[in-house]
Amino acid sequence: MLIFNRSKWVGIERRDGHLVARALLEDQAHGMRVEVHFTLPGLTISRVAGEMPRVPNAECRLALPRLQKAVGLAVEPGLTAKVDTQVGRPGCPHLANLLLECAHAAIHGLMALQVDAAQEQADQRTAAAELVERCLRDIPLLEGGCLAFRPGSALDADVLDRTLA
């Protein structure tokens, strides 16, 4: 029998030259939302806001102002540790986690923008290889971020094969 359930949802949209991420967390004790604005193409946090309509106690809401410590942080190596020390531990780890979920989703949002740009190109044969190259160049956290984007992966070899052909 299920005794605990936690759901998270993250969505990304492009608005006014920024990527805007919204994240929700719902479980038996928590209901909270975070909205994060990222600059393009650098993915620096330019604005963040949060709400905690349902929390275990009123003291939890005292963590909301800690979200502002994330303004100015870039989506780059070390972000997780910075968010943990500046937002999570002295505030609320759930809010910090939602903020990081937004940052991870922003990387994919930037990739989605790259896909849209690539689809507008006339030469579809090289568009995919160029897209992967551009994403790896423009989104530094991608390289080595998972099996697909590690140096020497099948994807890496496929891109190089098509690029050099």
DSSP 3-state assignment of 96? helix
Please report, in tens digits, the pLDDT of each residue of the chain (165 residues total): 999 999 999 999 999 999 999 999 999 999 999 999 999 989 999 999 999 999 999 899 999 999 999 999 999 999 999 999 999 999 999 999 999 999 999 999 998 888 777 766 655 556 666 777 777 777 777 777 777 777 777 666 666 455 444
Count how many residues are written for the chain: 165
Contact 96, 73 (CB under 8 A): no
Angle at 37 between CA 34 and CA 38, to 5 degrees: 130
Centre a 10 Å sphere on the Cβ of residue 58 and count the other Cβ atoms it contains: 8
Every domain of the chain with CATH number 3.30.390 lies at: 7-108
CA distance 136 to 113: 14
| Whole-prediction pTM | 0.80
Q: Which CATH class is domain 7-108?
A: alpha beta
